[in-house]
Structure 1
Amino acid sequence: MNVKSRVRIGAVVGAAALALGALAAPASADPAPNSNGTPNYRVLAGVGSDTTQDVFNGLGTSINSGSLVASYNATGSTTIKTRATNCVIPRPNGSSAGINALRNAVDNNTGCLDFARSSRGVSNSSTTDLTFIPFGKDAVTFAVRGNSALPKALTTAQLTSIYTCDTTSLNGVALTPLLPQAGSGTRSFFLGALGLTEDTFGSCVDDTVQEHNGEALNSAGDIAPYSIAQYIAQTNQPGDVADRRGASVLGSVDGVQPVTGGALNTAFPYNRDVYNVVPTNKLTTANIADTFVGGTSKVCQQTAVINDYGFGTIANCGSTVLKGES
């Protein structure tokens, strides 16, 4: 693997798109202050995945009238403050970064974090210190620019060849494959779907791009993985979801369309559960249990919010079977 660093600038996609972008308010990176302007720390604090940050902003507003769950976005200010005292921490960007921050809070008994958002499952099963609790279904496909000559339908074999740099052009267009930033759950999931690892994707790949940001696709050859749920949410813009699609469009894989009837196609080949990760020894703590554990938990009961943000509902919502170290 050869990490390439490039500056990617959002594509200018016409005056109409610019006008629409100006009207779309960016998602709030942190819980909004109280009406009197004081910080709104809430009871449970969570960080991590870019994929699920927006749905958790929506859930945080809906559950207990916005008093229980504080979810901090993957990007924004360099640091965040999750408690009134002694809890200024670096902002984690991505699933792995969020899980690491949660584990650090547990190991050092800081009390600064209660859960981590994750778009991947367990990567290290050496202990059962953390429990990965699923709450929704997502899938990942590839995105290209709508005005590019690149195909809008590919096979898994073609995608693998692109990301190992064996295929360098399609339809006469030189390919520039992109991957999300290090620590992204979507990055690890997409590589796994292609049968690749951190050590086997090609040196032509730019792996420095913020995930689910279609504005980073600023040349005809750009291709990147994209959460279908995130794309749907950015299209519909419930709550304060920022429309980052730019000129990107989603592609089909192995003949399967990513969206059907405006909703996630749960039959898409690269589908995944998304999770809230909590310390296993906190599973019976009242606030953790009531919020995350079981099909009657406060999160699992918010099916309308979960669907509004592009995710599918799942039968195993709230399950506590999946455990690991990270």
Structure 2
Amino acid sequence: MNVKSRAFAGALVGAAALSLSVMAPVASADPAAGDYRVLAGVGSDTTQDVMNGLGESVDGGTLIASYDATGTSPIKTREDGCEIARPNGSSQGITALNNDIDAGTGCLDFARSSRGVQTAGTDLTWIPFASDKLKMAVRQDGPLVGVNFTTAQLKAIYECTVTSVNGNPVTPLVPQSGSGTRSFFLTQIGNPTLGSCVGTMQEHDGRALTSAAHIAPYSVAKYTAQTGGLIEDVHGATVLNTIDGGEYSRPVYNVVETARLSEAGIAGTFVGAGSKVCQDTATIEVYGFGTVSDCGSTSLKGEN
């Protein structure tokens, strides 16, 4: 059974519990103008759509406001003030949350993140809520379809010391700076020094693969939701290839200020297995993500 079939077979079990609004394609995670909810978050492209689904599903769409990684900027998260530049990706989202905490403006409550802690500390807490997988996207009309990339091979490709696979040219693309997928992927392949052959793309937008030689890391959850018609389909002409015979697995998080963990709104929404986000497994699964046994854990802390 292929990735798409496997993910949707599991998702269909929970789909009956979802409202029709969750099953409909999602154009943007941004709430409508003037719709200011209790908790506002920004950051990861990987999890923006599932957090949009949770935003509509949990408490009837009144609790969670999640703003897309891309779109018009600035965004406005509160009725009074709180116009901020739109953060694109996990690291920019976490930086925006840190800046908001330092300024005491109260414009943000959480940051979406598809990568873990980069700097040790205790100011922020990474709360896992789902799992994702990463594979390599290639063009379906090119000669790289079916290639099982190895970790060592990918490191050399991104260092530009390997420029062909099975005699076919290969040109690597990497997500934009600040992307959690970029950070996670490069760590998985050994933190290579990127060579001059490496191009940059908006993560999980397969339309950027314009050459038969292009390859790029791609979220399986995003691909499943795109090709399944749940969200805007920007997978282009891509298919997903395995890495080391499988894929890289990773948890995804909502990051909050550690000092606010005991607040009723934060705790009830994100903290513990009984939290509203952790309990809504149907929404999490229908967007292609897996559930995690430590959903709601507050053990992972850091600065950024």
With normalisation by structure 2, the TM-score equals: 0.89
How far is the alpha carbon of 1:300 from its aligned partner? 0.1
Q: Is the 8 A contact 1:48 1:92 kept in 2?
A: yes
How far is the alpha carbon of 1:29 from its aligned partner? 4.2
Q: For each residue in 1:269-305, what CA deviation from the matched residue of structure 2 results, as whole angstroms up to 9, or x when unmatched?
A: x111000000000000010000000000000001010
How far is the alpha carbon of 1:174 from its aligned partner? 2.2
Counterpart among 147, 156, 162 of residue 167 in structure 1: 162
For the residues of structure 2 that align with 1:236 and 1:301, how far apart are their CA atoms? 24
Q: Which residue of 2 aligns with 1:316?
A: 294
Counterpart among 280, 284, 287 of residue 302 in structure 1: 280
Question: Is 1:47 aligned to 2:39, yes or no?
Answer: no
Counterpart among 121, 129, 134 of residue 140 in structure 1: 134
Q: Is the 8 A contact 1:173 1:220 kept in 2?
A: no
- Counterpart amino acid of 1:204? C
Q: Which residue of 2 aligns with 1:260?
A: none
For the residues of structure 2 that align with 1:298 and 1:26, how far apart are their CA atoms? 21
Within a 5 Å distance, the mapping from 1:22-101 to structure 2 comes to 27-33=27-33, 39-101=34-96
Q: Is the 8 A contact 1:237 1:243 kept in 2?
A: yes
For the residues of structure 2 that align with 1:179 and 1:96, how far apart are their CA atoms? 15
Q: Which residue of 2 aligns with 1:116?
A: 111
How far is the alpha carbon of 1:100 from its aligned partner? 0.2
How far is the alpha carbon of 1:98 from its aligned partner? 0.1
Q: Is the 8 A contact 2:173 2:198 kept in 1?
A: yes
Q: For each residue in 1:45-74, what CA deviation from the matched residue of structure 2 results, as whole angstroms up to 9, or x when unmatched?
A: 000000000000000000000000000000
Q: For each residue in 1:84-107, what CA deviation from the matched residue of structure 2 results, as whole angstroms up to 9, or x when unmatched?
A: 111000000000000000000001
Q: Which residue of 2 aligns with 1:251?
A: 241
How far is the alpha carbon of 1:237 from its aligned partner? 2.9
For the residues of structure 2 that align with 1:101 and 1:237, how far apart are their CA atoms? 31
For the residues of structure 1 that align with 2:190 and 2:105, how far apart are their CA atoms? 38
Query: Percent identical across equivalent pairs?
Result: 62
RMSD over aligned Cα, in angstroms? Answer: 1.3
For the residues of structure 1 that align with 2:125 and 2:119, how far apart are their CA atoms? 12
Q: Is the 8 A contact 2:261 2:271 kept in 1?
A: yes
Relative to its length, the structure with more helix (as a share) is: 2
Q: Is the 8 A contact 1:29 1:75 kept in 2?
A: no
Q: Which residue of 1 aligns with 2:125?
A: 131
For the residues of structure 1 that align with 2:285 and 2:235, how far apart are their CA atoms? 19
With normalisation by structure 1, the TM-score equals: 0.84
How far is the alpha carbon of 1:27 from its aligned partner? 2.1
Deviates more, 1:142-151 or 1:182-191: 142-151
Q: For each residue in 1:123-179, what CA deviation from the matched residue of structure 2 results, as whole angstroms up to 9, or x when unmatched?
A: 001x20000000001111110001100142221122112111111122443221100
How far is the alpha carbon of 1:235 from its aligned partner? 1.7
| Partner SS, residue 125 of structure 2 | strand
For the residues of structure 1 that align with 2:60 and 2:151, how far apart are their CA atoms? 44
| Partner SS, residue 154 of structure 1 | coil
| Partner SS, residue 278 of structure 2 | coil
Deviates more, 1:289-298 or 1:153-162: 153-162
For the residues of structure 2 that align with 1:28 and 1:94, how far apart are their CA atoms? 15
- Counterpart amino acid of 1:275? Y
Q: Is the 8 A contact 2:25 2:229 kept in 1?
A: no
How far is the alpha carbon of 1:25 from its aligned partner? 5.8
Counterpart among 189, 204, 227 of residue 197 in structure 2: 204
- State the number of aligned residues: 280
For the residues of structure 2 that align with 1:116 and 1:291, how far apart are their CA atoms? 14
Q: Is the 8 A contact 1:27 1:54 kept in 2?
A: no
For the residues of structure 2 that align with 1:195 and 1:218, how far apart are their CA atoms? 27
Q: Which residue of 2 aligns with 1:259?
A: none
| Partner SS, residue 315 of structure 1 | coil
For the residues of structure 1 that align with 2:85 and 2:244, how far apart are their CA atoms? 40
- Counterpart amino acid of 2:55? G
Segments ≥4 residues shifted beyond 6 Å? none
- Counterpart amino acid of 1:242? E
Q: Which residue of 1 aligns with 2:232?
A: 242
Structure 1, unpaired ranges of 5+: 1-23, 34-38, 257-267
